[in-house]
Structure formats: structure tokens, C-alpha cells
Amino acid sequence: MPQLYDHRGAPINTSSLSREHADPEDDWLRPVTDSVASTLTPERLAALMLAADEGDVDAYLTLAEEMEEREPQYRSTLSQRKFAVCSSQVVVEAASDDPEDVRRADAVRELTRQDAFGVLLLHMQDAIGKCYSITEILWDTDGPDGLWWPRDYRWRDPRWYRLDARTLCALRLRDASTDGVPLPPAKYVVHNPQLKSGLPARGGLARIVSIAYAAKRFSAPHLVRFLEVMGIPARVGKYPREGYSASDKRELLRNLRRLGSDATAIVPEGVTVDLLEAKGRGGPAEFVTALNWWDQQISKAVVGQTMTTDSGSSKSQSETHYAVRLDFTQHDNRQTSATLNRDLVRPFIDLNFGPRERYPRILLHVEQAEDTVAFATAVSQLVDRGLRVDQREVRRRLGLSEPEEGAELLSSGVGRGPHGAATADDEEPEPPTDPVEEPEDEREEDEDEAA
């Protein structure tokens, strides 16, 4: 096999394609990063963002992972965006109508039908929150055709890699050195969606959502503490100024606390206890309003709207917000397709068929609901007015297949031909014409003239 090169011009080493490049057994691949979300403060949040801007993204990536595990609103909306890409229709386009290009496109189409391909799509969408995702390809040639096929796609923890110090854009595998190891060609699917212009470390959605997460982290505990004491009147104990020791005061405090939980307590003679009812406009609604507001900000950041995630309204408004979500999905699909064509399709074709000037392409399409009744009605009216319509196009729009020879067909009449066309024997005969009887007086005049 001649020497192959990737899209960057780096040589491909086929002897190492079936081995793991990022071995989890290596100690330096396991950065020790304590939990960030559990001890998050505004000061620490600002510090880890500044560190990420300078290339140290470990704490930021840890926070991004923990937010997905701890914040239901973020997890829900981010999953909506991920699964929208994973559920898109996968289409493979050949480079041309040449039989060799069609054969290569068929091989790529078979590649997308593998179960592991759907897992790869999900791994790639991890970049939406974290700013980039890294999936290692394990190749082998054990199949009966002898071709190079991915046997597995391994998700890799992005903390196992570091950004190069010069550009802060290229990823390198951690090792014992300070610079790391460059990623070998044809071994990785590195997805870095351009959600915004700028450095990769500043493009993930977790960066903007972390502000809302921090605000909710401070609001939620206060709400819980408020609910614990809501409705319980304040207990105020009054003891004599003179002759009351410190131990007596502690005992009085314990009795007041017991009065709040057990509703029973004993106090010495001469001590009074007052129960004060809480009054004012404050209440749990104030905390809930704040938490809901931050939930809406998370929805806006992740899916671009709140109508389909937090609140419902009219049909027209919901359709408008669905169109916004559709724009997000179409953009994610284009970004995902570009990465797949660069990091998966090109190596797959080069390894099995050799380099080409043009390659097959994987495209992800969003299947949109269509009003088939309105479409069929419009086509029927246009055909009645003389418009010539290709049946194949109508079948494709309606999701109907081309009928096979001898298939039992549905039609508006009986006695149809093999493709629903009326036959000559089915033509209805014209009704007989009844003779027209002449009036009586006209017949008499005709007889007189004849005589």
C-alpha cells in the first residue's frame, strides 16, 4: 500500500490503527481534579474561566461534566439538542455518477448503518457543552471483505488532552512531557463545533450556563432552609437579667428549639416564651420565581427559546419557537457532517480505495413534518388544470414506494391495469340514444303530403 496522508498532510501509520492510542492505564491520563460544582463560589468560577482562557481547561471541563449531572434544566435542554442531531436522517451522496464513486458511496452508506455509528454521533455532541469532543477510532480488517472498518468508537475524556501552548487550538495527548503528543492521523474524530467565533475553550455552552448554575446553587439552599421553617412561629425566650447563668441560657435555647420541632418544652418559673407569627410579603414564591428565571436563561442559551421547554402558549408562538430550534439543529448537523467527512469518511476511503480528488459525503437532514393532505389536494387541482407531475416525486413526498409488478393496487375504480391505468375493456359504453317521438299533428301533416 502506498503511503497515505490525512487532510493536514500528516502520514498515516496503518500499523497502529488497531491499537489504542489513549490507553486509560497510563497514569498521566488521569488528572487529579477535585469536584468544582460542590465548592463553587463566584471567585472560583472567575478563576477557572481565566485559567481556561490561558489553556488550562481541567477545572472548566470538570464543572461542565458536573453541571450535566447536577442541573436538571441544563441536562434536559442539552439532551434535546444532542438527540436532535442523533435522530436526524443520514444521507450519503456519491462524488459523481461514475460507477466507482457510487461503489465508494455504498461502502460509506454501509458504514453509517452500523450500530456503533449512532454511538459516535452521541459522543460527538459532547462538544456542544464542553467546547470539543474526542472519539478514538479502533480499526481492523477482520471482516470477510478484508477492508478497514471501525470496530469501535471510544469516547475519550477531554481532560486527557491539552491545548497546545502556541495557538490554544490544537489538541495533544497528555504524557510525561510538558507539550504532550500530537494526535496521529486517521485515529480520532475531533469535533469542535463553531457555536461562536474564537478559541475552542470559550465556545462551549457550559461557559455561559455556569453563571446561571452558580446563581441557582446559592438560591436553592436558601429556599430549602426557608421551607423548613415556613409556618413555624418564631420562639422568643425571656429570662431575668439577674441570677440567670450561662448554662441556664443554653438550656432555655435547647427548649426553644425543641418547642419548634416537638411542640413541647419546659422552662423554669419566671421565664416567659413568646411565639411571634411571621408577617410580610416574602415567601417561597420569591425563591421559586428566581429559580424559574434562571431556568429560562439556561433554555435560551442551549436551545434558543423557552416555549417548548418552560412554558406553553399559542400554536403560532410554539411554531415560531420550533423554527428557532430547527435553526440550531440544522447548524449542528452541518458542523457534525463536516467533521465526519473530514475525520471518518476520508480515512475510510483512503485506507480501502486509495486517495481521491473528491470523496463521498455524509449529510444529516432534519425530517420535518409535512401537511400531506394539503400537498395531495394541491397536486390534484394542478393536475386537473393540465400540470404535468412526475409520479416519483409525489410518491417520495408522500412516503410511498414504487409498486412492484403484480402488486395489488388501490385505485378509485375497478378493472385497473398493472399500474392503476384504465384498460380498453374497462371503458364504459355510451348510453343508447332513445328515438325522439314526433308530435301527433306533425305526423298527420307528413302523411297528407305523402298522399
The beta-carbon contacts of 284-291 under 8 Å, at least 24 apart in sequence, are: 284/223, 284/226, 284/227, 284/230, 287/219, 287/220, 287/222, 287/223, 287/226, 288/223, 290/215, 290/219, 291/216, 291/219, 291/220, 291/223
Instruction: List 416's β-bridge partners, or say none.
Output: 422
Calpha distance 63→51 (Å, rounded): 13
* Domain count for the chain: 3
Q: What confidence category does residue 245 fall into, taking pLDDT thresholds of 50, 70 and 90?
A: confident
- pLDDT surpassing 80 at residue 229: no
Q: What are phi and psi of 134, to 5 degrees?
A: -130, 120
Asked if 324 contacts 304 with a C-beta cutoff of 8 angstroms, the reply is: yes
One domain, residues 377 and 361: no
Q: What is the mean pLDDT of residues 106-126?
A: 96
Assess if residue 31 is contained within a domain.
Answer: yes
CA angle centred on 142, ends 140 and 144, rounded to 5°: 135
Tell me, yes or no, whether 218 lies in a domain. Answer: no
Count Cα atoms within 13 angstroms, Cβ side, for 312.
1
Domain match, 144 and 261 both:
no
Q: In this structure, are 239 and 272 located in the same domain?
A: yes
139 within 8 A of 111, measured Cβ to Cβ: no
Same domain, 169 and 250: no
In a domain, 158, yes or no: yes
Evaluate if residue 360 carries a pLDDT over 50.
Answer: yes
Identify which of 404, 430, 431 has the alpha carbon closest to the alpha carbon of residue 419. 404
C-alpha–C-alpha distance, residues 14 and 18, integer Å = 8
265: containing domain: 232-277
- 376-430 per-position pLDDT tens digit: 888 889 898 999 988 888 887 777 877 888 888 887 654 444 444 444 444 455 5
Q: What does the alpha-carbon distance between residue 147 and residue 138 come to, in Å, rounded to a whole number?
A: 13
Residues 45 and 159 in one domain: yes
Q: Label residue 271 by pLDDT band (50, 70, 90).
A: confident
Per-residue model confidence (pLDDT) at position 417: 47
State whether 189 and 45 are in the same domain.
Answer: yes
pTM here is 0.72
